[in-house]
Structures are given as C-alpha cells and as structure tokens.
Amino acid sequence: MKRGLPVVLTVAGSDSGGGAGVQADLKTMTALGVFGTTAITAVTAQNSVEVSGIFPMNPDFVEKQMDAVLSDMGADAAKTGMLYSGEIIDAVCSKFTEYSVKNVIIDPVMMSKTGARLLNENAVESLKSKLLGIAYLVTPNIPEAEMLSGLSISRGDHAKKAAEKIFADTGCRVLIKGGHSTGRYVKDILYDGSRFMEFVKLRINTKNTHGTGDTYSSAIASFLALGNDLASSVTMAREYLQGAIINSVIMGKGFGSLYHGWRNKNGK
C-alpha cells in the first residue's frame, strides 16, 4: 500500500465524449503517477463532432467542491480548464487564494476543438485581470494568446512579443502553444519573465487531437507536483503529449482522442 501521492486538482468541465476536460485530465494524472481530484465547472454534452449542450455549475457549488478537496487533501498543483463565466472565475480565484494553492496552471479554454464557445466573451477580462494574477503559468494556444495580449501572431517573434505583453500585464509566466501554426514542426514558446525557451516537436499528421490542451496542462501540473522545476516539467509534459498523439486512436466520426496510457503500453 502506497503511503500517498502528490495531489493535483483540476477545475474544469466534464466531456461526455471522454476525450477532453476532466476526463483527459484524470487520465493524464493517473498515467504520470499523481492523484487527481476535481471541481466540475460545467457538464457538457459532446462527442468527437460537436458540443450539443452546456450546463454550467452554480459558482457556489464550484466553491463547495474546491472546499471539500482542498480542506482534506490539499493540492501540490492545480490546473483550470473550461471556466465558462466570470462568476465561476471569481469563485475559483477566491478558493485558490483562501487555500494558498501553489503551481496553478491556467489553460485558458475559450473554444472547443469543434468550434463551440466555452468561455463567455465578458469573462475573458476576468480571466486575465483576476485569475492570471494568482497563477504560476498560463498555456494559451495562438488564438487565445492573441486575445489575451491584443496582438496578432503570424510569426515566431510575434509569439514572443505576445508572451512578453501577457507577462507584463499579469505577472504570469506564459507558454504559447504552436499547434495552430503551419509547417513541419510545432514550436511552443515559454517565457518566465526573464528568458525564452523553445520546445520543438515534429508535427504529427493526424486529426486525433481532441484534448491536447487539457492533456498538456495536466501533464505540466503533474510534473510540477512531483517536484520538478518549470522548464523540466514543460519538457517532460511535451514528450508525454507527443507520445499520446503518436499513439492516438480514432474514436467517433470527428476529432479522435489521444491515448493517455501509451507509456504503459510501450513499457515506459
């Protein structure tokens, strides 16, 4: 019997299709050897093709879930995904502050892979002005980084300027993901306030990419909870994500899913 595992809390929405949201988060955390806990912000009816319905939780109930987990088990790291509204963001900020949660990773989920809006337009400013101010790292894709920075990103140096702008505005470290760019390689750019680091991987030609952002941010949070520094955590998380994409599976008629258990399958 194990004495205990590092705890990572995910505050995010539920994906009935199992490929993204808290389902992807928990699969990632289990695969990487940490204990995942949850606070559900919304329940979605979705599959590989579409999001057909969203039922947001009452902010008070989001707080109640966070109280239940943090008062008992605490958290060595946390991540957020779909937050949906400014009211839920306020609730989440309140509890992260009350319990002094460290290593908070913000995946600023704004749109689903299939194009559904997952964050109200009027909540973007709350996310930027409130949540990023208490977070350790934010992990936007290129469209999200453009929205957070107010800058257009069409080249690598633009991404660096956007990262600097987000950091200057919020004090939060920034990892801009390059998956929405074109080319043979995917380049992610990390800015910690003083230096840039680049993480480059071969682009995998597949449409089985449902849940990539959730998986990446959960992996970073997991490696931080295990005691690694930020650069090492991003490096190992990107390796894990690459393997999950390479071993991805066709599930349904649309965007297929990552295979989170690939390290066990491959004996790693």
How high does pLDDT run on average in the chain? Answer: 92
The beta strands (E) that lie in the chain are given as 7-15, 35-46, 51-56, 77-80, 104-106, 137-138, 173-176, 185-191, 196-202
In angstroms, rounded to a whole number, what is the distance separating the alpha carbons of residues 26 and 46? 18
**For 170-222, what is each residue's pLDDT tens digit?**
999 999 998 767 678 899 999 999 999 999 989 988 888 888 999 999 999 99
pLDDT at 267 over 60: no
pLDDT at 7: 98
pLDDT at 149 over 60: yes
Closest to 206 (Cα-Cα) out of 249, 169, 164, 177: 249
pLDDT at 113: 67
pLDDT at 3 over 80: no
Phi, psi of 240 (to 5 degrees): -65, -45
- Residues with Cβ within 8 Å of 55's Cβ and at least 6 positions away in sequence, in order, are 42, 43, 44
* Longest CA pairwise span in the chain (Å): 52
With beta carbons less than 8 A apart as the criterion, state whether 180 and 146 touch: no
With beta carbons less than 8 A apart as the criterion, state whether 224 and 235 touch: no
With beta carbons less than 8 A apart as the criterion, state whether 173 and 136 touch: yes
Closest to 20 (Cα-Cα) out of 259, 180, 213, 222: 213
pLDDT at 268 over 80: no
pLDDT band at 264 (very low <50, low <70, confident <90, very high): confident
pLDDT at 254: 82
Closest to 190 (Cα-Cα) out of 144, 231, 225: 231
Report the predicted TM-score, pTM, of the whole model to 2 decimal places: 0.94
pLDDT at 180: 67
Burial 83-115 (b: 16+ CB within 10 A, else e): bbbbbbbbbbbebbeebebebbbbbbbbebbee
CATH number corresponding to 7-260: 3.40.1190.20
pLDDT at 228: 99
pLDDT at 184: 83
Closest to 162 (Cα-Cα) out of 197, 189, 130, 180: 189
pLDDT at 43: 97
pLDDT at 251: 86
Total Cβ atoms within 10 A of residue 158: 17
**Domains of the chain by residue range:** 7-260
**For 66-101, what is each residue's pLDDT tens digit?**
999 999 999 999 999 999 999 999 999 999 999 999
- Residues with Cβ within 8 Å of 173's Cβ and at least 6 positions away in sequence, in order, are 136, 137, 138, 167, 190, 191, 192, 193, 230
**For 224-237, what is each residue's pLDDT tens digit?**
999 999 999 999 99
Q: 3-state class of 133 per DSSP?
A: helix
| Greater pLDDT, 156 or 95 | 95
pLDDT at 2: 59
pLDDT at 266: 61
